[in-house]
């Protein structure tokens, strides 16, 4: 059943990738973030009630709101906006938009080695797990496997197969 659910979600993401021109970009980014979370495992031992999906300084608008209170890894997904590295340490995932590239670099450096999944846009920082990029007018993503290894996060092979590029 769990495999079937993951397969269906991946199918929807692939279908959305093919129809990227027809859907608003923020909707696609929100779908990507949700699926990145589904296909990543965090270290055992976290007993928190909420799965904090954080946005650095700005979120995806109504596309972010759709994610609020969904269930993810037996936790309620909470969408938060953070403004510094200390706040970001309370997150499971942190999305740094392209508009916050300069400020975001310092936050990423302070989160290095922590089990916070860091996703950026069109930035190539050494400590970023996943980078959402524009490829021929469509959204795609690259994965940095070394960063996953450094943070004890496990990424699904299914996610790696969907990536445009996987850095070893």
% of residues, the chain, pLDDT over 90: 60
Give the pLDDT confidence of 15-44 residue by residue, as tens digits. Answer: 454 444 567 999 999 999 999 999 999 988
The structural domain count of the chain equals: 1
Is a pLDDT exceeding 70 seen at residue 6?
no
The three-state secondary structure class of 40 is strand
Residue 75 domain boundaries:
2-167
Spatial contact of 51 and 117, defined as CB atoms under 8 Å apart: no
Give the pLDDT confidence of 101-155 residue by residue, as tens digits. Answer: 888 889 999 999 999 999 999 776 678 999 999 888 899 999 999 999 999 899 9
pLDDT at position 20? 44
Is a pLDDT exceeding 50 seen at residue 47?
yes
Give the pLDDT confidence of 60-104 residue by residue, as tens digits. Answer: 888 888 899 999 988 999 999 999 999 999 999 999 999 898 888
User: What CATH number should be reported for the domain holding residue 78?
Assistant: 3.40.50.2300
Question: pTM for the whole thing?
Answer: 0.83
Is a pLDDT exceeding 70 seen at residue 161?
yes
Spatial contact of 109 and 88, defined as CB atoms under 8 Å apart: no
Closest C-alpha to 131, from 90, 163, 154, 86: 163
Question: For the chain, how many residues are written?
Answer: 168
């Amino acid at each position: 059943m769990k495999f079937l659910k993951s397969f269906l979600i991946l199918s929807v993401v692939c279908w959305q990738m093919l129809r990227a021109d027809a859907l608003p970009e923020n909707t696609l980014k929100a779908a990507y973030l949700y699926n990145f979370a589904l296909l990543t495992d965090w270290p055992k031992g976290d007993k928190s009630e909420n799965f904090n999906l954080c946005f650095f300084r700005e979120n995806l608008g109504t596309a972010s709101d759709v994610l609020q209170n969904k269930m993810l890894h037996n936790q309620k997904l909470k969408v938060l906006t953070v403004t510094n590295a200390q706040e970001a340490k309370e997150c499971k995932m942190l999305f740094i938009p392209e508009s916050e590239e300069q400020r975001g670099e310092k936050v990423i450096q302070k989160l290095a080695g922590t089990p916070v999944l860091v996703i950026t846009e069109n930035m190539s920082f050494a400590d970023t797990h996943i980078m959402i990029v524009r490829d021929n007018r469509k959204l795609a993503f690259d994965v940095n496997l070394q960063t996953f290894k450094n943070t004890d996060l496990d990424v699904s092979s299914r996610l790696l197969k969907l990536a445009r590029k996987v850095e070893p």
